[in-house]
Each structure stands twice: as C-alpha cells, then as structure tokens.
Amino acid sequence: GNSVTQMEGPVTLSEEAFLTINCTYTATGYPSLFWYVQYPGEGLQLLLKATKADDKGSNKGFEATYRKETTSFHLEKGSVQVSDSAVYFCALSARGNKLVFGAGTILRVKS
Amino acid sequence: DTAVSQTPKYLVTQMGNDKSIKCEQNLGHDTMYWYKQDSKKFLKIMFSYNNKELIINETVPNRFSPKSPDKAHLNLHINSLELGDSAVYFCASSQDLTSGYTGELFFGEGSRLTVL
C-alpha cells in the first residue's frame, strides 16, 4: 500500500537557520506529493505540492523537489523564522485515492 | 467567510455520553472527510463521503457514525464515549475524489474532544 515516512521531531532551530525535513514515500504508480503545515491551534493547510517527477513545489520560502529515483520529497527553507514554528506533514495521493499523511514533524524555531 | 467550519471547537464530556460534531463547507466541494489527530499529532482518516455517499470507512469503532444530509455538510456522532476518544477531530473537503482528483484538501480548525 501507499505510505509516507518523515523524520521524527521535534526539530529545534535558531532563527535564520537552514531547515530540512526528510520525507520518503512508497507508492504504486505516480502519486502527487504534498507538504501541509499546521500552525498552533489551527487546521492543516497546503504549503506546496508537486505532481510529477522533478517538479519543484515552492511557497513562502519553502521548497521541495519530487525525486522519483530516491522516492523522496524533502522540505527545505534557507532561513527559518519564529513564525515557521508548526507541525509539517508530508503526504501523497495516487489518482482516485485518499491522501496518505506521514506522522508529522514538529518544528520549533527559537529567537 | 470560513471555508470549512466545525462546531463546537471544544467539547468536554463524561465517559459514556453521546456527542456530535458538525461540519459545513462553502467551497462547493463534492468530497468531505473526518480525520482524528492524537496527542502526538498523528493524523488518521476515519471517513469520507462523496456527494452524500460513504466512500471511505477506515477501521473505526461502530460507536462513530457519520451522517451527510447534503454534500455541504458532514456530521460525526459518537456514542458511549471512551477516554481513548479524546483527540482533535478535523473535518476537511476536496473536489471529487471519485473522479480522480488528487489535489488539495481544505481543513476546518478542528474540534478538541476531551472525555473525562
């Protein structure tokens, strides 16, 4: 079946540090890949997505590249801010199938 | 105007009680979902409805019963509440999952259920 594995948290960084959150997937066919973010006290919202191999999704300074050869979709940001503190979920969806989420990674950014 | 709204936002109740959570979306979407998030932030899908028809029913105790009166509403009723039901329940919606849509889900703000 389809599954997503992402790095365990919490990840604690100082402001302006470089962020990487690893995500790998297992899927049949060619899924679409997503990163969702959940700010404290809120629901999840889409951060970025990529629908085919080598696509790069980007938003709010975050980016992730769909790597079919390594089945990965790692999230990166060059300089994090305190306001980026949230839970980040990697997810995949194959055509006609429900979204499958990873376990979530808590990010804490200190000033 | 909130796209996906859930009520109540907080719910505190005793074991054994029955409670309901309501969800409404004004996005014109065909598919709606219920997810459960535990204290470690793990997110698990419970149910999904497409145009009022149940299309996803994960392994959930039958004390949980979803109801979709129309495609803009999906309610969750829970009977005989147990301590382990304490969690945050999220409603979400998307375009038609059954026609192959693989895009974005829109989530409500969540309903935090505490069972004492």
Residue with more model confidence, A23 or A97: A23
| A96/B100 Cβ within 8 A | yes
Q: Give the strand order in the sheet containing A56-59.
A: A19-21, A75-77, A62-65, A56-59
What was the pLDDT predicted at B1?
67
- What tens digit of pLDDT does each residue of B17-42 get? 999 999 999 999 999 999 999 999 99
In A1-111, DSSP assigns E strands to: 3-6, 11-14, 19-21, 23-26, 32-38, 44-50, 56-59, 62-65, 75-77, 86-93, 100-101, 105-110
- What tens digit of pLDDT does each residue of A40-89 get? 999 999 999 999 999 999 999 999 999 999 999 999 999 999 999 999 99
Minimum distance, in Å, between the CA of residue B14 and any CA atom of chain A:
23
| A43/B110 Cβ within 8 A | yes
B87 touches chain A (CB under 8 A): no
A1 touches chain B (CB under 8 A): no
A25 touches chain B (CB under 8 A): no
- What tens digit of pLDDT does each residue of A24-43 get? 999 988 899 999 999 999 99
What was the pLDDT predicted at B95?
87
B99 burial (CB, 10 Å; 0-12 / 13-18 / 19+) is: exposed
Q: Enumerate the residues of chain B whose CB falls inside 8 A of the CB of residue A7.
A: none
Q: Are A109 and A87 in contact (CB under 8 A)?
A: no
State the Cα–Cα distance between residues A100 and A93, nearest whole angstrom: 6
Beta bridge partners of A106: A87
A7 touches chain B (CB under 8 A): no
What was the pLDDT predicted at B55?
86
Return the sign of the alpha-carbon dihedral for residues A36, A37, A43, A45.
Answer: negative
Q: Are A13 and A80 in contact (CB under 8 A)?
A: yes
Q: Enumerate the residues of chain A whose CB falls inside 8 A of the CB of residue B112.
A: none
Residues 32-91 of A with CB under 8 A from B: 32, 34, 36, 38, 41-46, 49, 51, 87, 89
What was the pLDDT predicted at B2?
74
- What tens digit of pLDDT does each residue of B57-104 get? 888 899 999 999 999 999 999 999 999 999 999 999 998 877 767 678
Helix (H) or strand (E) holding B70: strand B64-70
